[in-house]
Structure 1
């Protein structure tokens, strides 16, 4: 399983990162605390984005987990660690020093006399590159698990896992440990921070990462994801209805009966239901829609990592100027979309793709 190229996973990786990009296009306009904020905000946009937040990153972490199995398949654990360091830590340090500072400058532009004061004050941050940092540490943490799964000692576990997912609701019940992890960890780490030390976030996304590893290791589970895709789609639709029913429910309807902690726990449950059912549904349908050899997806898969590293900086710089225009929110979003996307592509094509040093700095493999 781990030695075969899965083009459906390549497509899902591209789709997941493009979804992150589109989400960030809307961030200046949804009323949340983003780096650059428009004066007016759209409640409708916020109501839509809070839904998509439940599965865009879980999908990305799960796909990264499956990719970890592929990366490990031809390497020892030492070689794997070196490969992760080169492809994750090098872009992370480069990003913190070069890619992220423009975000800091435009976010606090009135506090700086010049751009170079960002460096003079050592105002460095990780920003959107938190995903790369988390991916590195989680990848190292799961090395013992991967070594176990590669050994014959894991046969009984993988067989048991396949037997569970062969049941009609077997895949769906994977949401139960996810709910338990999120509710229990939120008691001690209530923050929404994506810092690696905020264990409620790390354990939550780590669960999807580990499930990606298990899915990639248990060959029969992929068959079950495809087999039960329609059922999982129905469960996703039901979860969506429950999610929005709770989201829009007036607080005075339930506040007399539930404590604030209990209400938050219900919120965590509906979020887990939407995230898990969407991801498992998409993994099933992707085997039908996307698992075909494609030159296009090979090129997109090569470009998508640099695209991710670049996208938020380009968006923030452009958004700083666009939000000052006398336009409505849909037009500003459209303008941000149609200007940022080609700029990111041009930077990639002419400054990143052709050169050995920039390919290394952006976590790309050598040109074949």
Structure 2
């Protein structure tokens, strides 16, 4: 559920993107905005994380320079605890990798829904979802996606379905009007089901797989995901459907901030956790330092054309650059 929001927004943005460009141009845009930051991040941003992880978890003692030059950062050392034991890793970039594959795999379907007969089909489905009695349909879709075995990294098919649902959700304004109308009960019910899903973890683990009980709980979990999605979209339409300087700044920065944040957290956290202070104090220090450090780096990225390209940002217009310098 944690990544449902970003995936849904990616599907929504794909709808608006395909209204202005061809499928081929959209695919090229995905390569520039996803593959380039993925490769750049794997070779530049992730090695500091895995080096500190190797020092903390595996007793790695060589310098960071040796770690890079020797190729140790490419050594396969992924364990049950993840990729923080020294060696190759992708860290938070797994989501970008998933989104790249999802965007390209779903491309034939979403292009069809954006052209010709597909437009009417997508709009009809969206108008259906405008009526709460039909919300059971996306719940079943999410349940079926979650039932497909996961691949390393996460439930790929489940994420794919959320992406496509995001695309169809904005193909007709009636659904967004309905989401705004029912945003409060949808979000309250969705959060309640999500909490129930989390708190029932031990009970779910005790059930046999497959079983009717486990399937029923999975349906409730899918229902919670969908209701949270509806509530978030409704609140977004109610309060964020306007432009301001702050909103534009945060919207543009959300992607590079995501790419940067985990490296900053790991580097700062490696030193902060060693301090002799209560854990709540350490968490606050780490939070504040990570936020400040991440946005400080973002301020550099957003001002340098080459870095904007490497972080998947669109190049700025000359007028915007001149206004900022002025």
TM-score of the pair, normalised by structure 1: 0.75
What's the Cα RMSD here? Answer: 2.3
What's the counterpart of residue 46 of structure 1?
none
Task: Determine if the alignment matches structure 1 residue 217 to structure 2 residue 171.
Answer: yes
Judged with a 3 Å threshold, the aligned counterparts in structure 2 of structure 1 residues 354 and 97 are, in CA distance, closer, same or farther, namely: same
Matching residue within 159, 163, 171 for 1:205? 159
Judged with a 3 Å threshold, the aligned counterparts in structure 2 of structure 1 residues 166 and 276 are, in CA distance, closer, same or farther, namely: closer
Shift of 1:260: 4.9
Aligned equivalents of 1:107, 1:353: Cα separation in 2: 28
Shift of 1:65: 0.9
Shift of 1:245: 5.6
What's the counterpart of residue 363 of structure 1?
312
Structure 1 segments unaligned to the other structure (5+ residues): 1-53
Shift of 1:229: 2.3
Matching residue within 89, 95, 102 for 1:131? 95
Matching residue within 35, 51, 60 for 1:89? 35
What's the counterpart of residue 193 of structure 2?
239
Judged with a 3 Å threshold, the aligned counterparts in structure 2 of structure 1 residues 267 and 333 are, in CA distance, closer, same or farther, namely: farther
- Report the number of matched residues: 298
Shift of 1:226: 1.9
What's the counterpart of residue 103 of structure 1?
49
Task: Determine if the alignment matches structure 1 residue 58 to structure 2 residue 4.
Answer: yes
Task: Determine if the alignment matches structure 1 residue 76 to structure 2 residue 22.
Answer: yes
The answer to whether the 8 A contact 1:165-1:221 is kept is: yes
What's the counterpart of residue 274 of structure 2?
324
Task: Determine if the alignment matches structure 1 residue 165 to structure 2 residue 129.
Answer: yes
The answer to whether the 8 A contact 1:172-1:232 is kept is: no
Secondary structure in structure 1 of the residue aligned to 2:299: helix
Aligned equivalents of 2:135, 2:209: Cα separation in 1: 31
Matching residue within 177, 188, 193 for 2:141? 177
Aligned equivalents of 2:268, 2:214: Cα separation in 1: 36
Aligned equivalents of 2:127, 2:298: Cα separation in 1: 45
Aligned equivalents of 2:198, 2:258: Cα separation in 1: 30
Task: Determine if the alignment matches structure 1 residue 259 to structure 2 residue 196.
Answer: no
Judged with a 3 Å threshold, the aligned counterparts in structure 2 of structure 1 residues 234 and 342 are, in CA distance, closer, same or farther, namely: closer
Judged with a 3 Å threshold, the aligned counterparts in structure 2 of structure 1 residues 234 and 332 are, in CA distance, closer, same or farther, namely: closer
The answer to whether the 8 A contact 1:230-1:281 is kept is: yes
The answer to whether the 8 A contact 1:95-1:129 is kept is: yes
Aligned equivalents of 1:269, 1:178: Cα separation in 2: 8
The answer to whether the 8 A contact 1:118-1:124 is kept is: no
Judged with a 3 Å threshold, the aligned counterparts in structure 2 of structure 1 residues 266 and 288 are, in CA distance, closer, same or farther, namely: same
Judged with a 3 Å threshold, the aligned counterparts in structure 2 of structure 1 residues 135 and 249 are, in CA distance, closer, same or farther, namely: closer
